[in-house]
Amino acid sequence: MYQQPVARLAVPTPLRRTFDYLYRGHAPAVGSRVEVPFGRQSLVATVLSLADKTSIDPKKLKYIKNTIDSECILPAELFKLIKFAASYYQYPIGEVFSACLPTLLNKGQAAELEPEWQWSLTPQGREAIPKLRQNAVKQQQLFQLCLDCDGVLTEAQLANHDFIPSYLKTFEDKGWLIKSAYEATSIYEPSAAYDSNLELNEEQQFAIDAIEPHLDTFKGFLIDGVTGSGKTEVYMQLIQQVLSSHKQVLMLVPEIGLTPQTVKRIERRFNVPIAMLHSGLTDKQRLNIWLKAREGKLSIIIGTRSALFTPLANPGLIIVDEEHDLSYKQQEGFRYSARDLALVRAQYEQTPIILGSATPSMESLYNVQQGKLELVRLTKRAGDAKPPHIKVLDVRQRHLNHGLSQPLIDNMRRHLEQNQQCMVFLNRRGFAPTLMCHECGWIADCQRCDRHMTYHQKFKRLHCHHCDKQVFTPKRCPECQSPQLNPVGLGTERLEEALTELFPDKTVARIDRDSTRRKDSMQNFVQAIKNNDIDILIGTQMLAKGHHFPKLSLVGVVDTDGCLFSADFRATERTAQLLTQVAGRAGRSKDIKGEVVIQSHHPDHPLLVNLFTQDYQTLSQKVLEERQQAQLPPYAAMAIFRAEANNLEMPMTFLNEVKQQLGHSGLTVYGPFPAPMPKRAGKMRAQLMVQHTERKALQNALTPISPTLEQLTSARKVRWSIDVDPQEVF
């Protein structure tokens, strides 16, 4: 060791280690950003610690070029959380900090708020409102928002709405709005908004009474509430209590499509500064929200997975809605679970955390067993709504019209005649799963993956949903030149075509990833459904999440069988969650009796029998018992080493060397073996699975070896990763 003061930095590189740098003058603050030379580049790094000694010859060390911040830019607890996340998920700490900070901060921009702007409605503007053209929808909406906000609009309020800046400029030029700078306050005493508290049933009141006494300290709660049980109203009334204590709320939601609805409902309840974090924000908007939250100028922050790393000046409550959802787990790069890290963050910040779901994950139910979460159940639908009647329909030997049985079609007709809405669920977008030649049997396979390409009729393209490769549909078979190329199987596009023919006088809407690519398209669909402008919805998994459609009375699940047979040990849990959530969309109003028809060629499958003759709660207990007997998560901690290269030999060689490195670690090791999908995006893939009954033992084994793997010769020939607590085994 050399006696030399150094700064130990997290540099954004794929190396699992820290880097020592020299500094001139005063030592940089721990948690501050510095600019450093790294190879031929200049990078923005984070100071992790200061040390008096270094293991590297000081003559070989470089100096910090520039100190960007005079102090730590993160609250101490969040700084600690990010370091924990890098360690737990075995990911390079520099890249973890880079992933958790806004892009502009990673580029070295100052962590300081720019002036806030507001727009005030003038007397001329008020006079202009009645004179606006009927088709000037956006302008009318902008005026209405001004009126709703007492004639004064702030940037924070505009951030949650899709108003093009040119409209504001036009209104300014006409003298309808006056732009001025103002100082945003950090007072969030909630004043009356537009919606008052809803009347609670006994179970909702019990939930609030159970959680409210713990709003000043760390405690974890799991609200297990059936679909439509009013979990959101419970959240709202607890948020009210937190805001009254001058604290902030962080709410995570799984889908960006749910965020605008949640924001709108909260805006109507609380007259406080609210921010919505989503992928449509510019880098500048994202940084502004991050800085405002850090300075306490926002009361409620709502967002998807990455919103977890938003700093809060006065944290008061964390809510993870639909906690079971797979989207909370990042599947590429820094593979973290936002739900699991939210629990750690709440503990560090000593704030309560609420996980909510109608179909709780096995991990959360296990945490209830272990006493880490307190279970609160909501077993009744709110507002006197009744649970839907569920029927599993045996479609063996029945004629299917594009996947639709006659009983399902008849049921749809009956509900539509009563001016109610129907939803047909098929978790497979596209027109058909693939294209096949009638003459020779050729099938359109993706040359880069071990999977068929999906046929999309609207765009006349074949699309691989695994690697995103797209090609134009051939006019003739590439093998035998026959023009007889036929779509095989059922997709949402084909279902849309069939339902339009069956119900020509009804409005049919397909809601999937393809139809909701444009900004605000999901919001527009949701609004159209609530306005009764759509009669029949065709939906994929997107529609199973948290949506409330009062006039939706019938749900038909077309192809259940595709979910029932899988080698993944989580398949039963996932299928039960999906079917329960889909069924929960029906009959959410007290005036409408919901009905669910689930088509299957395997009506006696144990999952369907157990789920619908009993309930999700009973099924989940059986799943937990099976997992415990098999020593599978959550009764064991698991990690997967994945590797890919141009041929299978290279990843297998690397993973065998990893296996040797694990040696006498005490871990149970499976593999290496080719991945369930051996070829993806042109690369051959393999994996090595390790597990232990103790989470700490798994971490103790992984931590020392993960940095050494970079030194292996075979590691340079593959792209590899470690997935801790994997949610998908593929």
Q: Which of 86, 106, 126 is the last residue of a domain?
A: 106
Query: Span 282-289, mean pLDDT?
Result: 90
> What is the domain count for the chain?
4
119/43: higher pLDDT: 43
Identify the band that residue 388 occupies on the pLDDT scale cut at 50, 70 and 90: confident
For 301-315, what is each residue's pLDDT tens digit?
999 999 999 999 999
* 406 and 353 housed in the same domain: no
CB count within 10 Å of CB 711 equals 8
177/730: higher pLDDT: 177
Strand 2-10 relative to strand 19-21, pairing? antiparallel
Query: For the chain, how many residues are written?
Result: 730
User: CA 385 → CA 230, 556, 585, distances in Å?
Assistant: 11, 20, 12
The pLDDT score that the predictor gives to residue 487 is: 77
Distance CA 14, CA 98 (A): 11
**Cβ-contact 522, 490 below 8 angstroms:** no
Identify the band that residue 163 occupies on the pLDDT scale cut at 50, 70 and 90: low
The pLDDT score that the predictor gives to residue 428 is: 66
For the packed helices 231-244 and 259-269, what is the interaxial angle rounded to 10 degrees? Answer: 50
Dihedral of alpha carbons 201, 207, 213, 215, sign: negative
**Cβ-contact 643, 413 below 8 angstroms:** no
User: CA 497 → CA 71, 431, 453, 485, 668, distances in Å?
Assistant: 60, 9, 20, 19, 51
280 is a domain residue: no
Q: Is 72 annotated as a binding residue?
A: no
Distance CA 514, CA 468 (A): 12
396 is a domain residue: yes
Query: Apex CA 571: angle with CA 568 and CA 576, to 5°?
Result: 175
Enclosing domain of residue 521: 385-430+490-617
643 is a domain residue: yes
Query: Span 701-715, mean pLDDT?
Result: 92
For 604, residues 6+ apart whose C-beta sits below 8 A from its C-beta are: none
The pLDDT score that the predictor gives to residue 183 is: 62
CB count within 10 Å of CB 603 equals 17
For 609-636, what is each residue's pLDDT tens digit?
888 888 899 999 999 999 999 999 999 9
698 is a domain residue: yes
Distance CA 381, CA 374 (A): 21
The pLDDT score that the predictor gives to residue 192 is: 47
Distance CA 168, CA 512 (A): 33
449 is a domain residue: no
* 253 and 348 housed in the same domain: yes
Distance CA 230, CA 252 (A): 17
Q: In terms of Cα–Cα distance, which of 429, 329, 446 is closest to 680?
A: 446
Q: Which of 106, 132, 163 is the last residue of a domain?
A: 106
**Cβ-contact 593, 386 below 8 angstroms:** yes
Identify the band that residue 462 occupies on the pLDDT scale cut at 50, 70 and 90: confident
Mean pLDDT of the chain: 88
Distance CA 133, CA 447 (A): 54
For 552-573, what is each residue's pLDDT tens digit?
899 999 888 877 877 788 989 9
> First-to-last CA distance in the chain?
45
* 587 and 680 housed in the same domain: no
Kindly report the three-state secondary structure assignment for every residue of 41-74: EEEEEEEEEEEEEECCCHHHCCECCEECCCCCCC
* 554 and 676 housed in the same domain: no
For 345-365, what is each residue's pLDDT tens digit?
999 999 999 999 999 999 999
Q: Is 422 annotated as a binding residue?
A: no
For 398-425, what is each residue's pLDDT tens digit?
888 888 999 999 999 999 999 999 999 8
Identify the band that residue 20 occupies on the pLDDT scale cut at 50, 70 and 90: very high
Strand 595-600 relative to strand 389-394, pairing? parallel
Q: Is 563 annotated as a binding residue?
A: no
pLDDT exceeds 70 at position 291:
yes
* 349 and 398 housed in the same domain: no
Residue where the block lists tokens 């954004």? 12
247 is a domain residue: yes
* 543 and 645 housed in the same domain: no
For 643-662, what is each residue's pLDDT tens digit?
999 999 999 999 999 999 99
CATH number of the domain residue 567 falls in? 3.40.50.300
Counting residues of the chain whose pLDDT is more than 90, the rounded percentage is 55
Q: How far is CA 510 from the centre of its chain?
A: 22
Partners of residue 690 on adjacent β-strands: 639, 669
Q: Is 134 exposed, middle or buried (0-12, 13-18, 19+ CB in 10 A)?
A: exposed
Specify the 3-state DSSP secondary structure of 171: helix
CATH number of the domain residue 680 falls in? 3.30.70.600
Query: Span 412-440, mean pLDDT?
Result: 82
**Cβ-contact 386, 232 below 8 angstroms:** no
Tokens matching residue 61? 């060390």
* 376 and 425 housed in the same domain: no
Q: In terms of Cα–Cα distance, which of 223, 228, 227 is closest to 207?
A: 223
Query: Span 92-104, mean pLDDT?
Result: 97
Q: How many helices (H) and strands (E) does the chain have?
A: 22, 32
Distance CA 585, CA 572 (A): 21
Distance CA 286, CA 277 (A): 7
Q: Is 149 annotated as a binding residue?
A: no
509/13: higher pLDDT: 13
* 544 and 659 housed in the same domain: no
Distance CA 98, CA 471 (A): 35
Distance CA 634, CA 220 (A): 18
Helices (H), 24-150: 76-88, 93-100, 103-106, 123-128, 137-148
For 466-511, what is each residue's pLDDT tens digit?
888 888 989 899 889 998 887 766 777 888 889 999 999 999 988 8
Distance CA 713, CA 687 (A): 18
Helices (H), 535-694: 561-564, 571-583, 606-613, 616-630, 649-662
Query: Span 418-435, mean pLDDT?
Result: 78
* 571 and 668 housed in the same domain: no
Q: How far is CA 481 from the centre of its chain?
A: 44
pLDDT exceeds 50 at position 368:
yes
The pLDDT score that the predictor gives to residue 542 is: 73
* 664 and 652 housed in the same domain: yes
Distance CA 364, CA 372 (A): 9
Helices (H), 515-599: 521-530, 561-564, 571-583
680/514: higher pLDDT: 680
Q: Which of 106, 134, 150 is the last residue of a domain?
A: 106
Q: Is 480 annotated as a binding residue?
A: yes
* 228 and 357 housed in the same domain: yes
Residue where the block lists tokens 């911040």? 69
For 232-246, what is each residue's pLDDT tens digit?
899 999 999 999 999
For 567-602, what is each residue's pLDDT tens digit?
788 989 999 998 898 888 887 777 778 899 999 989
Residue where the block lists tokens 């739900």? 339
The pLDDT score that the predictor gives to residue 519 is: 63
For 177-235, what is each residue's pLDDT tens digit?
888 887 655 434 454 455 667 788 999 999 999 999 999 999 999 999 988 888 989 99
* 258 and 365 housed in the same domain: yes
CATH number of the domain residue 16 falls in? 3.40.1440.60
For 295, residues 6+ apart whose C-beta sits below 8 A from its C-beta are: 113, 186, 313
Backbone phi, psi, residue 433, to 5°: -60, -30
* Dihedral, 582, 588, 592, 594 alpha carbons, nearest 10: 20
Q: Is 449 annotated as a binding residue?
A: yes
238 is a domain residue: yes
369 is a domain residue: yes
